[in-house]
Amino acid sequence: MSDLEIERYELSEPRRYTFELERREFIRLFGAGIVVAVAAADALAQETGRQRPQGRGDTPDLAAWLHIDEAGLVHVSTGKVEIGQNIRTSLSQTVADELRVPLASVTLLMADTDKTPFDQGTFGSQTTPRMAPQLAKAAATAREMLIDLAAAQWRVDRSTLAARDARIVGPEGRSLSYAELTKGQALTGTIPASPATDSRDHWKIRGTAVKKVDGRAFVTGAHQYTPDIARPGLVYGRIVRPDGYGGTLVSVDDARARAMPGVAVVRDGDFLGVIAPTERAASRAAAAVQATWNVPAGQPSSETIYEYLKKNPDRGGGEAPAIATLAMPDGVVRTFEASYRIPYIAHTPLEPRAAVAEWQDGKLTVWTGTQRPFGVRTELAEAFRIPEDRVRVIVPDMGSGYGGKHTGEAAIEAARLAKAASRPVKLVWTRAEEFSWAYFRPAGVIDIKSGVDARGQIVAWAFDNWNSGGSGLQTPYDVGAKAQLFHPAKSPLRQGSYRALAATANHYAREMHMDEMARALGVDAVEFRLRHLKDDRLRAVLTAVAEKIAPGPARDEPGRRRGVGVACGTEKGGYVATAAEVSRGSGPSPWRLDRIVIAFECGAIVNPDGLRNQVEGSVVQGLGGALFEAIDFADGRVRNGTLEQYRVPRFKDVPIIETMLLDRRDIPSAGAGESSMIAVAPAIGSAVRAFGKVDTALPIRLLA
Amino acid sequence: MPRFVLRVNGRDREIDAEPGDSLLSVLRYDFGLSGSRYGCGEGQCGACTVLLDGLAARSCVTRVGSVGAKAITTIEALAQGERLHPVQQAFLEAEAFQCGYCTSGMIMAAVGLLKTNPNPSEQEVARLMDRSVCRCGTYPRIVKAVRLAAERMRTGTAVMGGSK
């Protein structure tokens, strides 16, 4: 009877429901059944600390809602976006688990600004630590409401009842299905202060490796991403871009384009685009437009960018903070100084920016791939000077973003063309446009100066980051006196978020520096870190990796020289250690990556298979920035803006990856899509040092 | 504009197009077969991969005028009704995708690969599929899925794809 033990309702005070919706209103909105709302105050306390804008048409206090319909099916509505990180499945697991229903009974409605509650956006690994617990509470509340309904119907003490297999079961084998209980109801529940959610020890569907809830739609090609959305009367758009950053339109000769059947040219200030009856015709028409642009001269290049960033602070109206100068304390016997350079890199999501825009009776509906549907709604409302409730943004599950799709460029462009066309317009950016006109992970310079005492202990640590960002800037090590500063700079290229943000750059610099000190002092790289590390969770992942792979100097084998490097760090509640093994062979490349060992811990694991997929994917994506990715630019133009020239990780680049997931059921779950990538580059860079001096710039390069 | 007759998924379909137009554009936007994805338009990512007479081809750089009488097979025609192709089934079971945008092309590339090499090693899968990109980094699982499908197709133990 242990199940009943768990189900027993523990609260002694009477339940209080808030009946906010009139029955008629409820039926109009939901049909019938039970609805539990998640208050925004709880779910939003989190996200970025920014104030939530008051969008018209929002229910201001709502973050998500859960509805059990008359068929006993569960509908969850959230503004979160599925971008391949698997939250459609993991959130369904949470709800199904708390409600004691099969996973297939739960459907998530996501990211539709007219139908789902306001959400700040899907970024920062916030869905699992913030949204999932809120939905768990809503589901637990609904479950208790069902118990109340059964207790009332049977006129029995509710403490004798339990929820199981989508039914409320009582003594003497009595039971009622959720469908029977919700029939004709119009009940609104409020989450009590202490909802009876399951403890992590009692998870049944959470913690298991369930498959993606809609996997079949992907293997059959049936899933419709934004570029696949079709509308009646649809026409196709294409933008004519400036031939450099900051370009302004001087003149246009569009006679040839206009002569093409069904083609229109739209010019509005520096905006220049075409509309055509087919995608192929739009492409031909855009190519036929002769535009002259005035591109500002003297723009920085990928060679001069690092100097430029240091010389062009973005003070944001205030004074720039001083550089982290630190007087070396007494007892310092040796200092280490280095300057690390991080290039701009491109997210390169395989689904490019795209949008389908449609105006109807003054209302704009846009399907687009973005991680911030409500933010894009605001962008559209501002661009077209209309109220937000005249704009609807719908985000089909996306061909990913990696932090690169927080904005609404394609949405605005498609909407402008659709306004001119008076018909729905589809705009899909080309790969070349995506490389040049999206935004990048920030470039940066990181200067570190550290000092050690006679025992080899770090006693001083000065760390300055220009432009790449503040995430992961604080060292987790005990380093005595420290000064750590982020200096925002005026970026000549558009820049923005990226998976794990600046944590990758900051960990690269910090961990390469730790490795350099350990090598110079003749101390084992793991031992050197542990000596400066109190955090048990970080020590645990580092130790787990160390047991698998011994870092240290090159270990020669017949015909093969090997190098091993290790790095670790913590970000967004995730703890990671990564080791890399490289070898020096006889091929054209001076070294190759053979093996990655990674240990990752993010609290209680919700879906071990989904997590493993994310962690392996993070490692592979991390290889890109570590081994080859860098935007090459000059004179306001990207010089390697094709997939042929801009190398992303491919099958042959992938080494053996050994993944260890540390499950901590005693710790709340953190998000996991990002932090597992932060130690990849420094582990590889440290390993390559076995063969000589390694450049302080990414991507990793062995200096001659 | 000339008219072409293309044999698509067992059906003849007519299209007015320039000979240099991309096959992918015609499949996606004229025939509504949007399961083949646009990823790069350069033939570098493989998201648009279809079969031409059973061989994997990048439809984004295949010109309509060059197809002739070759039979075009897209991801939409791979399953037999509710019954998934063994490669689809293996991708589903191995969960060899994250965002899924590369999946159609990966599956078509794998089907093409297994026609010419029914028993590829891990290294061979990696080498032969190297021009297909999974930006989410799901490569190790894709290799596993392809080999799982290969084994089942060789031994005739392909499991029936369920309806869900």
Q: pLDDT tens digits for A536-565?
A: 999 999 999 999 987 555 556 666 788 999
Residues, chain A:
704
3-state class (DSSP) for residue B86? helix
The answer to whether residues A536 and A562 touch, using CB atoms and an 8 Å cutoff, is: no
In this predicted structure, the answer to whether residue A59 has a pLDDT above a threshold of 90 is: no
* Residue A592 touches partner B, C-beta closer than 8 Å: no
- What is the model's pLDDT at position A283? 96
- What is the model's pLDDT at position A674? 86
C-alpha B155 chain-centroid distance: 23
Question: How far is the alpha carbon of B127 from chain A, nearest alpha carbon, in Å?
Answer: 6
In this predicted structure, the answer to whether residue A11 has a pLDDT above a threshold of 50 is: no
- What is the model's pLDDT at position A189? 87
In this predicted structure, the answer to whether residue A20 has a pLDDT above a threshold of 80 is: no
CA–CA separation, A106 and A72 (whole Å): 10
Q: Strand (E) positions, B53-156?
A: 55-58, 71-73
* Residue A224 touches partner B, C-beta closer than 8 Å: yes
Rg (CA), chain B: 16
CA–CA separation, B84 and B10 (whole Å): 18
3-state class (DSSP) for residue A550? coil
- What is the model's pLDDT at position A21? 63
Helices B103-116 & B86-94 angle (0-180, nearest 10):
130
Q: What percent of chain A has pLDDT over 90?
A: 76
The answer to whether residues A106 and A136 touch, using CB atoms and an 8 Å cutoff, is: no
In this predicted structure, the answer to whether residue A234 has a pLDDT above a threshold of 50 is: yes
CB contact under 8 A, A211 and B95: yes
User: With contacts defined as CB-CB under 8 Å, which chain A residues touch B125?
Assistant: 651
Name the pLDDT band for B113 (thresholds 50, 70, 90): very high
* Maximum Cα interatomic distance, chain A, rounded to a whole number of Å: 84
Name the pLDDT band for A5 (thresholds 50, 70, 90): very low
CA–CA separation, A327 and A587 (whole Å): 47
Cβ under 8 Å to B: A residues 248-277: none
Residue type, A278: T
CA–CA separation, A399 and B97 (whole Å): 11
Residues, chain B:
164
* CA count, 13 A, side-chain hemisphere, A55: 29
- What is the model's pLDDT at position B91? 98
- What is the model's pLDDT at position A539? 98
In this predicted structure, the answer to whether residue B162 has a pLDDT above a threshold of 50 is: no
Cβ under 8 Å to B: A residues 352-381: 352
- What is the model's pLDDT at position A672? 82
Q: Tokens standing for A395?
A: 């985000």
- What is the model's pLDDT at position A228? 98
pLDDT digits (tens, 9 = 90+) for A645-695: 999 999 999 999 999 999 999 999 888 878 999 999 999 999 999 999 999
Please state the rounded mean pLDDT for residues A510-521. 98
Please state the rounded mean pLDDT for residues A119-137. 84
3-state class (DSSP) for residue A330? coil
In this predicted structure, the answer to whether residue A52 has a pLDDT above a threshold of 60 is: no
CA–CA separation, A402 and A618 (whole Å): 10
CA–CA separation, A52 and A41 (whole Å): 10
CA–CA separation, A411 and A416 (whole Å): 9
* Residue A400 touches partner B, C-beta closer than 8 Å: yes
In this predicted structure, the answer to whether residue B125 has a pLDDT above a threshold of 90 is: yes
Q: Which long-range contacts (CB under 8 A, 24 or more apart) does A309-318 make?
A: A309/A443, A309/A444, A309/A445, A309/A466, A309/A467, A309/A489, A309/A491, A310/A445, A310/A466, A310/A489, A312/A489, A312/A490, A313/A487, A313/A488, A313/A489, A313/A490, A314/A488, A314/A489, A314/A490, A314/A491, A315/A488, A316/A488
Q: Strand (E) positions, A245-390?
A: 248-253, 264-268, 271-276, 290-294, 332-342, 345-346, 354-360, 363-368
- What is the model's pLDDT at position A321? 64
Question: How far is the alpha carbon of B70 from chain A, nearest alpha carbon, in Å?
Answer: 22
3-state class (DSSP) for residue B53? coil
- What is the model's pLDDT at position A192? 86
Task: Select from A84, A217, A657 the Cβ nearest to the Cβ of B136.
Answer: A84
Question: How far is the alpha carbon of A24 from chain B, nearest alpha carbon, in Å?
Answer: 36
Question: How far is the alpha carbon of A629 from chain B, nearest alpha carbon, in Å?
Answer: 13
Please state the rounded mean pLDDT for residues A175-203. 90
Q: What are the distances in angstroms from CA A252 to CA A87, A266, A271, A277, A700?
A: 46, 11, 11, 22, 44
In this predicted structure, the answer to whether residue A325 has a pLDDT above a threshold of 80 is: no
CA–CA separation, A664 and A359 (whole Å): 50
Residue A212's nearest CA partner among A638, A607, A687 is A607
Question: How far is the alpha carbon of A418 from chain B, nearest alpha carbon, in Å?
Answer: 18
In this predicted structure, the answer to whether residue A57 has a pLDDT above a threshold of 60 is: no
CB contact under 8 A, A212 and B132: no
In this predicted structure, the answer to whether residue B40 has a pLDDT above a threshold of 50 is: yes
The answer to whether residues A575 and A699 touch, using CB atoms and an 8 Å cutoff, is: no
Residue B145's nearest CA partner among B118, B110, B101, B115 is B110
CA–CA separation, A83 and A75 (whole Å): 20
Question: How far is the alpha carbon of A358 from chain B, nearest alpha carbon, in Å?
Answer: 18
CA–CA separation, A620 and B143 (whole Å): 14
The CA-to-CA distance between both ends of chain B, in Å, stands at 44
CB contact under 8 A, A212 and B95: yes
Task: Select from A85, A616, A644 the Cβ nearest to the Cβ of B137.
Answer: A616
Q: What are the distances in angstroms from CA A64 to CA A191, A402, A536, A569, B103?
A: 12, 24, 35, 33, 31
Q: Which residue in B has a C-alpha nearest to residue A228's C-alpha? A: B34
Question: How far is the alpha carbon of A667 from chain B, nearest alpha carbon, in Å?
Answer: 26
Question: Which residues, at least 6 apart from A155, have a Cβ–Cβ distance to it below 8 Å?
Answer: none
Residue type, A580: A
Write out the H or E segment, with its range, that includes residue B4: strand B3-8
Residue A678's nearest CA partner among A580, A604, A575, A588 is A575
Question: Which residues, at least 6 apart from A2, have a Cβ–Cβ distance to it below 8 Å?
Answer: none
For the ranges A417-426, A562-571, A580-589, A605-614, the lowest mean pLDDT is seen at A580-589
- What is the model's pLDDT at position A551? 57
Instruction: Using DSSP bridges, classify how beta strands B3-8 and A162-164 pair: parallel, antiparallel or unpaired.
Output: unpaired
Higher-pLDDT residue of A183, A130: A183
In this predicted structure, the answer to whether residue A435 has a pLDDT above a threshold of 70 is: yes
Q: Which residue has the tokens 């130790």?
A: A543
Higher-pLDDT residue of A439, A6: A439
- What is the model's pLDDT at position A559? 65
Residue A104's nearest CA partner among A25, A156, A166 is A166
Q: Which residue in B has a C-alpha nearest to residue A210's C-alpha? A: B95
- What is the model's pLDDT at position A46? 36
The dihedral sign for the CA sequence A14, A16, A22, A23: negative
CB contact under 8 A, B92 and A228: no
pLDDT digits (tens, 9 = 90+) for A248-272: 999 999 999 999 999 999 999 999 9
- What is the model's pLDDT at position A119? 85
pLDDT digits (tens, 9 = 90+) for A468-493: 999 999 999 999 999 999 999 999 99
The answer to whether residues A566 and A556 touch, using CB atoms and an 8 Å cutoff, is: no
User: With contacts defined as CB-CB under 8 Å, which chain A residues touch B130?
Assistant: 650-652
- What is the model's pLDDT at position B25? 96
3-state SS, A147-213, equals HHHHHHHHCCCHHHCEEECCEEECHHHCEEEHHHHHCCCEEEEECCCCCCCCCHHHCCCCCCCCCCC
Cβ under 8 Å to B: A residues 159-218: 211-212, 215-218
Q: Mean pLDDT over all residues of chain A?
A: 90
Alpha helical stretches, state H, A183-304: 215-219, 255-258, 279-288
CA–CA separation, B3 and B30 (whole Å): 13
CA–CA separation, A407 and A231 (whole Å): 23
- What is the model's pLDDT at position A85? 85
Instruction: Using DSSP bridges, classify how beta strands B3-8 and B11-16 pair: parallel, antiparallel or unpaired.
Output: antiparallel
CA–CA separation, A467 and A314 (whole Å): 9
Task: Select from B91, B129, B133 the Cβ nearest to the Cβ of A648.
Answer: B133
CA–CA separation, A83 and A67 (whole Å): 24
**Dihedral class, residue A186 (left if φ above 0, else alpha if ψ from -120 to 50, else beta):** beta
In this predicted structure, the answer to whether residue A587 has a pLDDT above a threshold of 90 is: no
Residue A86's nearest CA partner among A397, A373, A406, A367 is A397
φ, ψ for residue A29, nearest 5 deg? -80, -40
- What is the model's pLDDT at position B163? 39
CB contact under 8 A, A399 and B97: no
pLDDT digits (tens, 9 = 90+) for A74-85: 999 999 999 988
